A and B are shown apart, each in its own frame.
Chain A
Amino acid sequence: MFRRGQETATAYLFLLPFLVTSAVFFFYAFGRAVYYSFTDFNLFNTPQFIGPQPYAQVLADPSFRRALANSLVFAVVTTTLQTVFALLMAVALNNRIRGMAFFRSAWYMPSITSSVVITLIFLWLFQRRGVANYLIAQLQAYGPLLLTFLTGLVLAQVLQVWLERRAGRPAGWFDPALAVVSALGAGAVTAALAFLGVVGVREVLPFDYQYFADKWVTVGGVQVLSIPLLVVIIQNTFTTVPTLMLFFLAGLQNIPGALYEAADIDGATPWQKLVHVTVPNLRPVTFYVITVGLIGTMQMFDQVAVIGSAAPRDTLITLAYYVYANTFRAGAAPVNMAAAGAIILALIILAMVFVQRRFFPSEVRP
């Protein structure tokens, strides 16, 4: 279209700012990180080549091992939780209804605000006498009423479905119209029992649980997951589920309705339809969501830095934070170890990308 020489010159002119900044702040930086990871650099001395010794030091560092374990646990648990919840919510909501725009915006809210803001709000919610513990205490207090209601609901539903079926109608166990009647009935029974004083609100002490402390979930004596990290997992799942759910919803709309009709004709249950039609058809979206999720969660940093001294260091340290903390340690910082840690993190992530590209090559980015 254009003259060849002119075109090449223009292209490089257009790309110049991008190429220059990438070269300086990415490739040069990458090369320097690799170089530093084989030296004794500590920010103040002249780097001397010492071979792979920093890697050995890093791998022997208990803090690094903890960071690696925390990062892997965090990535795997968070990705699993957010994918499963997002998928289930999307299936439950796969309906074209009026007012979807409002709900969509409401659910996007957690994922557009900064992780710093959300972490601060969660820190506040999960204090010892915070809102989260207050809600748990309320749940304990209203437990009897809630249980009565749920028992009533199930009994009423079973009874109604049985009656309907006797009358020759094909009512399902989750029939929505009958469930409305069951809920109303169960509510009335609960109110009546509460009025008669049979069940009531229990007196409970405030639920005082310190989340941001040195507490661990152990499996066979090995500290697997710390409670502070669990709170961060909950927070991260909370912020990402809505967005991922909208991804799955987009994917669901692309599944041909004929597949479900065929399943209906074969007499498939809702569960069978989910497992045999929905999940296989959502494969591309699911793999995308999982890889992006793993890569993102492996780099978790913001939450750890914001929570900072509010939780014991070991309970939250991740690979990204390990790199940061070692670079900015007071005095002579073990920057070579930080660089080695960063390279290991990069290798893990590149391996994840490689596995995705290699084994799921037909992958399309939504």
Chain B
Amino acid sequence: MTVLPAAGRAAPTSPDERWLARRRWARAGWLYAFMLLMSLFFLGPFLMGVLSSFKDNPNEYPPRLLIPQLSARYIGAAYNLGVQGGGGGWRGGLHPGRTVTFDVQVRSPAGTPPAPPTVSLFPYQPVSLVSITRFAQARDFAQVSLTPAGTRGEVRSYRVTVRYPALTRQTGRVLSAQIGAPGDRLTATLPDGRTVPLTLDTPEAQAVQYTLAQYQPVELVERGGTYFLRGPIFERTPLQVDIQRGQTLAGGTLPPSDQQNFGRSLAYRNITPGVLGYTFNNYRRAFNETTNPATGRSLFFTWMTNTFLYAFLRVAAAVVLCSLAGYALARLNFPGKTLIFLGFVLFAQMVPSQVNLISNYVLLKDLGLLNLWGLWLNGLVAAGGVFLMKQFFEGIPRELEESAAIDGAGPFTTFWRVMLPQAGPALVALAITQFQGAWNDFFWPLILLRENTNFTLTVGLSNFRELYGGQGDYGLILAGAVLSAIPVILVFVIFQRYFVSTGADSAVKG
């Protein structure tokens, strides 16, 4: 039933033939239209989720498809502001001794109060419930001022200047560090891991020394082996602009992140974002706002490495142990073979895992293995994987082994030297199904991993839902979801043809 007319056929001549050809082309057109519609339907939720993960507010109504975070103009502006803030165009941030200018245009029709807007910096404290780290606020260190910058018709332009004076007048080598553990003296940990005492040479610096928490990023000046505190580094510079009654916002260097009070209270969550802080803000938040205060390490990053480790371990175990077991069941003759196949392979696949939940949890808890290793042990040899490898080895011609046997090879040599090299495609299929299974596994990790530093991504994400979903902060949740889907999608795109051949396992998700 080929739809497209075969190429090279003689051009239709009679009216009837032309009529048929026209029908065929039309049919192909409808079919493609339908397929595209279906693709849009099946990819739509993902694409919408990915797009919205870039938004300041993914819950905006009506949802937009064209967003400033993906427009060249605003990405350029964000880059530029990041450079001004001293953190660079990508990372952004506000460093000591820097001045940032930000433009706001206000439409002020005749008859409305011509007063300029009021501007201020406001604190940003992440609403993270995973962990609470108090970071210094730009508001307490930088000054903000407003100057008129011309009028064109009804539109008045204003220039907001944020000036962040350094806390020391010393000059020398400038370097970034983190505030060290609390003690008698304020210390800082340098990027090379050394901890050095800080010298506070101005009253301003001495005034803030007790407000800086551990892990606070700071900038230092090094001169002759002495380290002077130049000031904390701020990831964000949140600016609030309040315009007068009757006036409306006409434009600005960046669009506001949030508008309240009938569009007169404008919040810019970060006027020194850099590209990372602007377009990928939610992604950065997923990493930064899950920082564990006890260790200073990002929980999200830990979950990601845990998931990679777990997936790798599962794949490694499956490739070795499932192929051994599958080979034995397919080719070796021994008493109890049928019983093992029926009981250990088939029956074990039918019984729902909830039955084993209680015993396995209690057992691993008693062994002190409520962690990744226990999780790995619990699903060490997948019955489904054994089944797959048994099917595969049964399909390989016997002649190969027989000739090996004639040469005097034992069962192990035969398996290792003759059979395993044949099993490439099956092993790849096994590896990717196991990878996908481990990466997406939710039930067992949820039960066996009780510490948030042990979580895998799926469990961590469901924790995100509990912590941020209630407040409707979906930016972080969507960014986390997208990040956690990327590796599986990559594996799928690369190894597509193997997926299709073993699709039976993923056909139905409970």
Contacts and interface: CB of A to CB of B under 8 A. Distances in A.
Interface of A: 1-2, 4, 6-8, 10-12, 14-15, 17-19, 21-22, 24-30, 32-33, 36, 43, 89, 92-99, 101-118, 120-125, 127, 129-131, 134, 169, 175-177, 179-180, 206, 236, 238-240, 242-244, 246-247, 257, 289, 292-293, 295-302, 305-310, 319-320, 323-324, 327-328, 335, 338-339, 341-343, 345-346, 349-350, 353, 365-366
A257 B500 CA distance: 24
Tell me which of A12, A94, A293, A298 has the highest count of chain B C-beta atoms within 10 A of its own C-beta. Answer: A12
Contact of A114 (B22, B333, B440): B440
Nearest to B506: A111
B440 A349 contact: no
A348 to B, nearest CB: 9
Interface string B479-510: 00100110011001100100110011011111
A129 B52 CA distance: 14
Contacts of A22: 344, 348, 381, 383
Contacts of A32: 358-359
A25 B412 CA distance: 27
A338 B358 CA distance: 8
Given A22-B344, A97-B31, A29 B442 contact: no
A17 B321 contact: yes
Contact of A30 (B25, B328, B332, B355): B355
Interface string B7-31: 0000000000001001101111111
Contacts of A306: 442, 461-462, 465
A124 B508 contact: no
Interface of B: 1-4, 19, 22-23, 25-32, 34-35, 38-39, 42-43, 45-46, 48-49, 52, 58-59, 61-63, 321-322, 324-325, 327-329, 332-335, 337, 340, 343-344, 348, 350-363, 377-381, 383, 386, 401-402, 405, 410-412, 415, 436, 439-440, 442-443, 446-447, 458, 461-462, 464-466, 469-470, 472, 474, 477-478, 481, 484-485, 488-489, 492-493, 496, 499-500, 503-504, 506-510
A18 B500 contact: no
Contacts of A8: 332, 334-335
A335 B42 CA distance: 41
B355 A345 contact: yes
Contacts of A17: 321, 324-325, 380-381
Given A2-B411, A115-B442, A124-B478, 19 more contacts: A1-B402, A2-B410, A22-B383, A28-B363, A93-B34, A93-B35, A98-B4, A108-B500, A111-B506, A112-B488, A116-B484, A180-B26, A244-B507, A296-B510, A320-B354, A323-B354, A324-B354, A350-B351, A366-B504
Tell me which of B322, B324, B357, B410 has the highest count of chain A C-beta atoms within 10 A of its own C-beta. Answer: B357
B458 A350 contact: no
B365 to A, nearest CB: 9
A14 to B, nearest CB: 4
Contact of A14 (B328, B350, B351, B506): B328
A15 B28 contact: no
Contacts of B466: 308-309
A21 B348 CA distance: 12
A23 B436 CA distance: 25
Contacts of A300: 510
28 contacts: A10-B412, A14-B324, A15-B340, A17-B380, A18-B344, A22-B344, A25-B378, A28-B359, A28-B363, A30-B355, A30-B356, A33-B358, A99-B32, A101-B496, A107-B38, A109-B43, A111-B506, A113-B485, A114-B485, A116-B462, A120-B465, A122-B45, A302-B509, A309-B470, A310-B469, A310-B470, A327-B357, A366-B504
Given A109-B489, A112-B492, A180-B26, A301 B510 contact: yes
A97 B354 contact: no
Nearest to B42: A107
Contact of A97 (B28, B48, B415, B510): B28
A33 B355 contact: yes
A32 B357 CA distance: 10
A86 to B, nearest CB: 10
B478 A115 contact: no
Nearest to B381: A18
Contacts of A98: 4
B357 A114 contact: no
A116 B481 CA distance: 8
Given A134-B61, A180-B26, A240 B355 contact: no
A350 B350 contact: yes
Contact of A299 (B1, B321, B354, B446): B354
A257 B510 CA distance: 36
Contacts of B48: 125, 131
B369 to A, nearest CB: 12
B508 A7 contact: no
Given A25-B356, A350-B350, A240 B328 contact: no
Contact of A243 (B343, B464, B503): B503
B402 A299 contact: no
A103 B35 CA distance: 7
Nearest to B477: A120
A10 B27 CA distance: 60
Contact of A104 (B46, B381, B500, B509): B500
Given A10-B328, A105-B496, A125-B45, A339 B358 contact: yes
Contacts of B386: 18
A15 B329 contact: yes
Contacts of A299: 352-354, 510
B131 to A, nearest CB: 20
A121 B481 contact: yes
Contacts of B358: 29, 32-33, 36, 327, 335, 338-339, 342
Contact of B43 (A21, A95, A106, A129): A106
Tell me which of B46, B332, B361 has the highest count of chain A C-beta atoms within 10 A of its own C-beta. Answer: B332
B381 A114 contact: no
A319 to B, nearest CB: 8
A117 B446 contact: no
Nearest to B443: A301
A3 to B, nearest CB: 9
A102 B325 CA distance: 36
A295 to B, nearest CB: 8
A103 B478 CA distance: 25
B509 A240 contact: yes
B308 to A, nearest CB: 14
A33 B359 contact: yes
A337 to B, nearest CB: 11
Nearest to B492: A112
B355 A29 contact: yes
Nearest to A333: B358
Contacts of A134: 61-63
Contacts of A7: 332-334, 411
Given A120-B477, A176-B29, A247-B507, A342 B42 contact: no
